[in-house]
Amino acid sequence: MLVQFGNNQFLLNPDGSIYWLEEKSLIVGDLHLEKSTSYIDQGNFLPPYDTIDTLKRLLNITKELLPNRIIFLGDVFHDNSAFDRLKTKEKKLFKDILKKNVIWVKGNHDNSFKYVNIKTYTSYKLKNFIFSHISNKKNKLEISAHYHPKVTFKFRGTKVSKPCFLIDKEKIILPAYGAYTGGLNISSDIYKNIFLNNYQIYALGNTKVLKIEKKF
């Protein structure tokens, strides 16, 4: 699904990433790698397959769209020590991805993560667009993540809940990309404070992105 934003063209992908046509850049938010293993000390042993699943999906979309650059919008890792918990195979996949030109915006989960050759930013400006993890009221033309928006709607009589993109004239919020990242429903008051106007909702379907009409 192609949308216009700040006179540029952005392709919304059903995996939750965005492809910026003018800059040939792939934008992803909230991978939360190693979320599974972060609950060990609390006694929750989640199936430890989320990282491999998330990285494989990211690799697939880069193979498909061949971007010149990947912009990470923060919370790539679920916590600051998550990188050390990657298995050998996962580390290799991660390094393969980093071979691209990468812009790394820090998140609240991985703000002290350090890695050779990666420069990290609190927010990054490219052309007129600001890339940050958490949305800031002052920013015009901003692309951010953090809230993991999801929307609930009725489809053929049954209730469906899906991650979604939220877009108005000044802001885009991306859904979370990670395999285990749940979401915050758009009925939450938080979104009212971010968007001044009514925003568009684009839900992630299995093979395409669906525009959802919802009254406010």
Partner 1 sequence: MIQEKHKYKNNIIKDKIQSHKINKWFKKKGWSFYDYQIKALQAINQNKDILITSPTGSGKTLAGLLPTILESEKFKKTNLYTIFISPLKSLSYDIERNLLIPINECDLNLTISVRTGDTTAYTKTKQIEKPPNILVTTPESFALLMSYKNAEEYFSNTKYLIIDELHNIIHSKRGDLLALNIARLNEIAPNHNKIALSATLKDIKTGLAYFSNKKKSEVIKSLKNKKFSVSIIKTTKNIPWSGYMATYAIKNIYNNILKHKYSIIFVNTRAQAEVLFQSLWKINKDKLNIAVHHGSLEKKLRIKIEEKMFKGLLNCIVATSSLELGIDWGNISLIIQVGAPKGISRMIQRIGRSNHKINLPSKAILVPTNKFEYLECEAAKKAIYENDIEEIKIKKGSLDVLAQHIFGVACSKPFNKDLLFKNIKTSFPYKNLDIITFNKVLEFVKNGGYSLKHYKEFNKIKKNIKGNYEVSDKRLIHKYRMNIGTIVESDLINVYLKNKKLGKIEEYFVQNLVRGDTFLFAGEVLEYLENNVKGISVKKSKNKYPKIPSYVGGRLPLSTKLSRHVIELINNYKNFNMPTRIEEWLQKQEEYSMLPPSEGLLIETFTRNNFGFRKNYLVAYTFQGRSANQTLGLVVLNKMLKLHLKPIAFTATDYALVVWSEIKCNDVEKLFDNRNFFQGFNQWLENTSLIRKHFKDVAVISGLIDKNYPGYIKTHKQIKFNSDLIYEVLKKYERNHILLKSTKLEAIDDLLDYNKIKNYLLAIKNNIIHKNLKRVSPMSIPLLLEFNIEKVKEDNLIDIIEEENNLLLEANLH
- Residue-level length of the chain: 216
**Mask of contacts with partner 1, 159-188, x by CB under 8 A?**
x-------------------xxxxxxx-xx
- With CA atoms as reference, report the closest residue to 185 among 203, 167, 161: 161
Work out the angle at residue 6's Cα, subtended by the Cα atoms of residues 123 and 72, and round it to the nearest 5 degrees.
30
**Mask of contacts with partner 1, 103-142, x by CB under 8 A?**
----------------------------------------
Kindly state the smallest distance separating residue 54's Cβ from partner 1, in Å: 10
Of residues 75 and 170, the one with the C-beta less far from partner 1: 75
Contact present, 29 and 176 (Cβ < 8 Å): yes
Q: Which long-range contacts (CB under 8 A, 24 or more apart) does 125-128 make?
A: 126/23, 126/25, 126/71, 127/8, 127/22, 127/23, 128/6
* 193 is an interface residue for partner 1 by CB under 8 A: no
**Mask of contacts with partner 1, 2-41, x by CB under 8 A?**
-----------------------------------x-xxx
HSE-CB for 192 with a 13 A CA cutoff: 4
3-class secondary-structure state, position 15:
coil
Of residues 99 and 156, the one with the C-beta less far from partner 1: 156
Among positions 23, 53, 115, 200, the unique one binding partner 1 when judged by CB under 8 A: 53
CA atoms of 26 and 114, how far apart (whole Å): 22
Kindly state the smallest distance separating residue 126's Cβ from partner 1, in Å: 27
Residue with tokens 């952005």: 10
Kindly state the smallest distance separating residue 125's Cβ from partner 1, in Å: 26
* 84 is an interface residue for partner 1 by CB under 8 A: no
Interface residues toward partner 1, by CB under 8 A: 37, 39-50, 52-53, 87, 147-148, 152, 157-159, 179-185, 187-190, 215-216
